[in-house]
């Protein structure tokens, strides 16, 4: 019966190692969850560098930083949270400014926010063309292979097998094409 305390100690040690490994892997995740959105300290906050678009765990938050979103909005923003992107059939990365209404729903476009969606792969062209057919598309040059402004809320860009859609919606003002172009220029080299 003397072996029993040794076995129990060994099992407890293994459990502690497994718990520590699980805790460290969840804290090193580069994909923000919808429930974690601590505010950045300002437009120049230095978040972790984005994961390159070609990396394994790609999502829309992989190509845009809080600093880039804050610069486009002109003020501090929260960390990016993932939400549904119904128009593009993917996930949106949404950043909120301090005046964004509450409750904040990353599945719905809201004032005082930045919304970035990237669809990658063979469906990118279909989603790009589908949205273009539903809006008053105004062609834009100098962005990817082709681009258009939807006339009121966002800039859509097709680059290779990527469809990028950017919307910068200041509080109390209409969406800003200039800010969307600025943010698109920061994101496009990552695609």
Its pTM stands at 0.70
Instruction: Report yes or no: 93 and 34 within 8 Å, Cβ to Cβ.
Output: no
Among the ranges given (29-43, 48-62, 107-121), the one the predictor scored with the smallest mean pLDDT: 29-43
Instruction: Report yes or no: 118 and 63 within 8 Å, Cβ to Cβ.
Output: yes
Q: State the average pLDDT over residues 113-127.
A: 93
**Model confidence pLDDT, tens digit, residues 127-168:** 999 999 999 999 999 999 999 999 888 999 999 999 999 999
Residue 49 scores a pLDDT above 50: no
CA distance 163 to 161: 7
Instruction: Report yes or no: 137 and 177 within 8 Å, Cβ to Cβ.
Output: no
**Model confidence pLDDT, tens digit, residues 81-113:** 999 987 777 899 999 999 999 999 999 999 999
Sequence-distant (6+) residues with CB within 8 A of 76 are 39, 40, 41, 42, 43, 45, 70, 97, 98
């Amino acid at each position: 019966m003397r072996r029993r305390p040794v076995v129990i100690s060994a099992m407890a040690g293994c459990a502690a190692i497994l718990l520590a490994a699980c805790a460290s892997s969840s804290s090193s995740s580069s994909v923000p969850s919808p429930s974690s959105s601590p505010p950045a300290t300002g437009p120049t906050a230095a978040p972790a560098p984005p994961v390159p678009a070609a990396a394994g765990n790609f999502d829309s938050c992989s190509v845009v930083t809080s600093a880039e979103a804050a610069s486009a909005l002109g003020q501090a923003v929260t960390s990016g949270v993932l939400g549904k992107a119904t128009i593009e059939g993917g996930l949106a990365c949404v950043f909120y400014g301090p005046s964004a209404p509450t409750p904040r729903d990353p599945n719905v476009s809201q004032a005082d926010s930045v919304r970035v969606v990237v669809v990658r792969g063979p469906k990118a062209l279909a989603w790009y063309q589908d949205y273009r057919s539903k809006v008053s598309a105004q062609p834009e040059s100098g962005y990817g292979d082709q681009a258009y402004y939807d006339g009121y809320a966002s800039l859509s860009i097709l680059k290779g097998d990527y469809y990028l859609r950017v919307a910068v919606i200041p509080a109390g003002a209409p969406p800003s094409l200039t800010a969307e172009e600025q943010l698109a220029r920061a994101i496009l080299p990552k695609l």
